[in-house]
Amino acid sequence: MAGLTIQLLAGEFATCRLAPTEPVPAWAGSAVFSSVTRNADELSVFCPAAQVPAAVKHERGWRLLKFQGPFDFGAVGILASVLTPLAGARISSLAVATFDTDYLLVKEVTLNATLQALEAAGHTIQRT
């Protein structure tokens, strides 16, 4: 599915790992973007990097791309249309899905190459 509009959100984000039994911390929320996922092995949090306490296991330096949705649940190939050119450019990413849309986190050091690969694949990038 070529021709997506993808918004580059401002700011640095982090991915965090907590114990699977930890409560969701208050610092994990954000009006811009946050995502919390719990499974048997961990509690993962994606949020603005500035909110993460130093004592929490985390990795900073992520940038956030928001796919302009909403997308129908029957739509096919949305994520593949973005991941395929990034894989071709050897760019690693982390994907997060919500009810209406998808988000992609890429490392800041790969941001320019990411945007070039996506534009070359026919996607439109909105920079905020």
> Over 19-58, what HEC string results?
CCCCCCCHHHCCCCCCEEEECCCCEEEEEEHHHCCCCCEE
Tens of pLDDT along 16-51? Answer: 999 999 999 999 988 889 999 999 999 999 999 999
- If one counts every other C-beta atom within 10 angstroms of the C-beta of residue 66, the result is 20
Q: What is the DSSP letter of 108?
A: G
Percent of the chain at pLDDT exceeding 90? 79
The residue ranges of every structural domain in the chain are: 5-127
- Per-residue confidence at 2, pLDDT binned at 50, 70, 90? low
Tens of pLDDT along 52-86? Answer: 999 999 999 999 999 988 788 878 788 899 999 99
Between 77 and 108, name the one with better pLDDT: 108
**How far apart are the C-alpha atoms of 74 and 96, rounded to whole Å?**
17
Could you say which architecture CATH assigns to the domain 5-127?
2-Layer Sandwich (3.30)
Three-state DSSP state, 99: coil
Q: How far apart are the first and last CA of the chain?
A: 23
* Chain length of the chain: 128
**How far apart are the C-alpha atoms of 24 and 36, rounded to whole Å?**
8
